C-alpha cells in the first residue's frame, strides 16, 4: 500500500466529502481521515500540521454549519495528539490503516463534541450519542477507507497481474 500517492487519497476523500450529502445524507462521516492516516505515516509532524490546517480550512469553507476555524482547529489538535502514535501502525498492512483511520475519526469526533459543547449553551450526552457518534461512525469511516480507497487499488493491482485484457478480450488464436 506504500505505492498509493497522497494526492490520490486526498482527491478521493475530497470527492467523497463533496458528494457525501447527496449519496448518503444520514451518515456524517468525518472527512479526510484516510488522508490523515497516510499523512501521519509518511510525513513529519510539522508538515502534517500544515497540511491538516489546510484540510481543516478547506472543510471550514465547504461547511457553513459551524464557526469558521472549527474544523481547522480540530484537524490540527488531532494531528498533534495522534501523530506520535504512527509508530504503532504500519502502512503495508491494510487493517493497520483502517484502525488508524478509526482512531483518527473517533478522536476528531470527541474533539468536535467538546468544541461544540464549549461554544453552544445546550449539550446533551446520551448512550445513543456515545454508541453512534463515538463507536459506530468511526467503524464506518474505517470501512469507507477500505471500500473507497484500498479496494479500487487492490482490484487494479490484481487486474494488472492477471492480465484482464487478455482474459476479457477474445484471443485471436481461438477457433470454434
CB neighbours of residue 168 within 10 Å: 8
| Cα–Cα distance measured from residue 97 to residue 152, given in angstroms and rounded to the nearest whole number | 15
> What are the structural domain ranges in the chain?
6-168
pLDDT tens, residue by residue, 64-116: 777 888 899 999 999 999 998 888 877 667 778 888 888 999 999 899 888 88
What's the whole-model pTM score?
A: 0.77
pLDDT tens, residue by residue, 37-46: 888 988 999 9
Inter-residue contact 159 to 112 (CB < 8 Å): no
Cell of 156: 487494479
Residue with cell 467538546: 114
pLDDT tens, residue by residue, 46-68: 999 999 999 999 988 888 777 88
Amino acid at each position: 500500500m506504500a505505492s498509493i500517492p497522497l494526492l490520490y487519497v486526498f482527491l478521493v476523500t475530497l470527492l467523497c466529502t463533496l458528494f457525501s450529502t447527496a449519496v448518503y445524507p444520514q451518515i456524517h462521516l468525518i472527512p479526510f481521515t484516510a488522508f490523515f492516516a497516510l499523512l501521519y505515516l509518511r510525513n513529519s509532524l510539522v508538515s502534517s500540521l500544515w497540511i491538516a490546517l489546510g484540510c481543516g480550512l478547506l472543510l471550514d469553507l465547504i461547511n457553513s454549519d459551524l464557526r469558521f476555524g472549527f474544523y481547522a482547529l480540530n484537524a490540527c489538535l488531532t494531528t498533534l495528539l495522534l501523530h506520535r502514535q504512527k509508530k504503532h501502525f504500519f502502512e503495508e498492512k491494510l487493517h493497520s490503516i483502517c484502525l488508524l483511520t478509526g482512531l483518527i475519526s473517533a478522536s476528531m469526533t470527541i474533539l468536535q463534541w467538546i468544541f461544540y459543547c464549549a461554544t453552544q449553551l445546550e449539550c446533551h450526552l446520551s448512550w445513543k450519542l456515545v454508541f453512534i457518534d463515538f463507536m459506530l461512525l468511526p467503524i464506518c469511516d474505517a470501512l469507507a477507507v477500505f471500500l473507497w480507497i484500498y479496494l479500487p487499488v487492490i482490484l487494479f493491482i490484481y487486474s494488472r497481474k492477471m492480465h484482464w485484457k487478455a482474459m476479457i478480450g477474445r484471443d485471436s488464436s481461438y477457433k470454434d
